[in-house]
């Protein structure tokens, strides 16, 4: 068994594609439009299945906002330098939406450095400093 993808419902598909490609550095892998069923899917990631898990963004026609609920936590992404990613993201998010919701720093009671970004729909992304894991994404 393996994790294939995570699906998020979004209120503006192009805004979310722009956020995940321009701020998070993902690649738009494919899209599927289903007008009869009134939804469009966009799959993004740092690589394709089966080698990498993907992020599925689902836009349901006419729905521009969702309640996230209290069960959702975050998506974790390994990065070389969380502070640098936050700085680069902050500049891009000024026009694309989203925010840095926790600056880079060690976790409570530990030494692992993390930060959090919030995408334009309110979903949290945890950045975890793992230089080796992040560099593997680019190989």
Active-site amino acid positions:
126
Distance CA 88, CA 31 (A): 27
Helix/strand/coil for 113: strand
Report how far apart, in Å, the C-alpha atoms of 39 and of each of 1, 43, 63, 79, 104 are. Answer: 28, 13, 10, 32, 36
Read out DSSP for 16-83? HHHIIIIIS--EEEEEEEETTTTEEEEEEESS-TTTS-EEEEEEETT------TTT---EEEEES-HH
């Amino acid at each position: 068994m393996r994790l294939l993808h995570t699906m998020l419902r979004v209120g503006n598909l192009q805004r979310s594609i722009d956020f995940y490609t321009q701020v998070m550095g993902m690649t738009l892998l494919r899209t599927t439009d289903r007008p009869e069923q009134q939804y469009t899917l966009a799959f993004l990631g740092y690589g394709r299945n089966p080698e990498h898990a993907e992020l599925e963004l689902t836009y349901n026609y006419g729905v521009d906002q969702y309640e996230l609920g209290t069960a959702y936590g975050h998506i974790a992404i390994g990065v070389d330098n969380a502070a640098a990613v936050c700085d680069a993201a902050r500049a891009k998010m000024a026009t694309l939406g989203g925010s840095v919701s926790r600056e880079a720093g060690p976790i409570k009671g530990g030494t692992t450095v993390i930060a959090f970004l919030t995408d334009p729909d309110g979903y949290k992304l945890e950045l975890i400093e793992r230089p080796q894991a992040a560099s593997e994404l680019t190989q």
